[in-house]
Structure 1
Amino acid sequence: MTQPYVKQDVNKGILTIEFFHPAHNSLPGDILAQLANAIQEAGENNDVKVIILKSGGARTFCAGASFKELINIKDSESGRIFFSGFANVINAMRKCPKFIIGRIQGKTVGGGVGVASATDYCMASKFAAIKLSELNVGIGPFVVGPAVERKLGLTGMSQIAIDANSFYDAEWARQKGLYAQVYDSTEELDEAVQAFAENLCNYNPEAMREMKKVMWTGTEDWDTLLAERAVISGRLVLSDFTKEKLKGFK
């Protein structure tokens, strides 16, 4: 696999959305837009009862923001637009009336932790360590922060946001509430995700829809909040500190 993609597959009420990028499943603007659209469309599709969100490849679930695009941001408006891509994905996930199961097979960094946190039920392999690296490059996890805090709590989110150089292992993430279960292999993970999704298909769709509303109560201001956070990140990515840091990723 060398070309980025977002692809979908529906089978017996289960929609699998898979994204891929050769740079460790990083997320450039076009992939973010495709993800947001796919999730929104899935929510409107009556043939879909439950959604599985996964990435391609065996190693990294998501490396977060595309450093190539970050380096090429030249003004605050372009920065706002780029970081709004993450806001749009998270908001699409919280508004989607279907349960979204996260399948996290490997390491997850930055924006990828935000995406995992915005799933309704997240399952992982023991290789799925997490890291919020944004502060290390002078930005901070502003856009994804609310989603991460919702799952890990303020203490857990603050810990990994400030300790921006460290990976926290999958068991830590499970204990903090991000992962519901952790499996010894990707094969075991896939079997468990599939079985869990099939079981959800036996539930009352209306009950699941109402349950999702209840679960996301208190996030009604996220359209505005995450847009404001995207402005902050879009400004900071232009700072001399961040520009110097990003040179090392060229």
Structure 2
Amino acid sequence: MLKIYQSNQMNFLVTKLCKKIQSKKNFFNKKTILINNTYIKQWLEIQISKKLTICMNTQYVEISKFFINLIKQSDYKLKTVKPSIFEVKYLKWILMSIISKKKDCIFLKENGIQYNNYEFCLHMANVFVKYIFFQPDLIYTWEQEIKNNIWEKKTIWQKKLWSVVIQKKKNSGITSFTEIINNFNRNIDNSCFLKFIPKKILIFSNTSINPFITTILHIIKNITSIYLFQYAFKKKKNIQIHQLIF
């Protein structure tokens, strides 16, 4: 089950969140609240403490880190592998290893790309991670060799560079981004994996949930209860929306 609370009033969202935290059935159980960043964590802790006299066993985890870890737990091949393609700090070094070999970078030179430096690798690591989280459909079209006239001309060299990254990671058990998501979907009912998914997932977000995380939420919504408290900017005051998605 996925239940979404949207409002342009943060206080309304905090109140709804507190009601779920205060549930008598789970009062003493460990509670995990997924958040965007550490800044919202500090603010949220203060707001919750104002509304609840006691808030025990509560931990805060960044949304992206939580779900990347969940993906790792779903596939035994990934458990011993750093999730390199999801994180800039790992992906940039994969790119550094690629540009160190001139034969792997001929296509970059042919496209007039100045690639032989650390700044290029850091920039492209950030670009690829943004694609994964905000434009996963683009990565999918690359890996499935689907023609897309909108992106083809602008990103042809990026597509080739991404394929080289995936080739580098094949020895670590990562075949492609698409295959990672497909494996996650296939393994979702595996009893060994289910123990890693909390019975209740609380998400407090002051921004829109990106397409990648939205995909994961829809995959797991039938095996757990997900409550999303999301700030939605509206010109009218006191806009409140409840959505229940099965």
> Same fold by TM (over 0.5)?
no
Give the TM-score category using the shorter length: under 0.3
Higher helix share: 2
User: What TM-score do you get using the length of structure 2 for normalisation?
Assistant: 0.26
TM-score (normalizing by structure 1): 0.26
Structure exhibiting the larger radius of gyration computed from Cα positions? 2
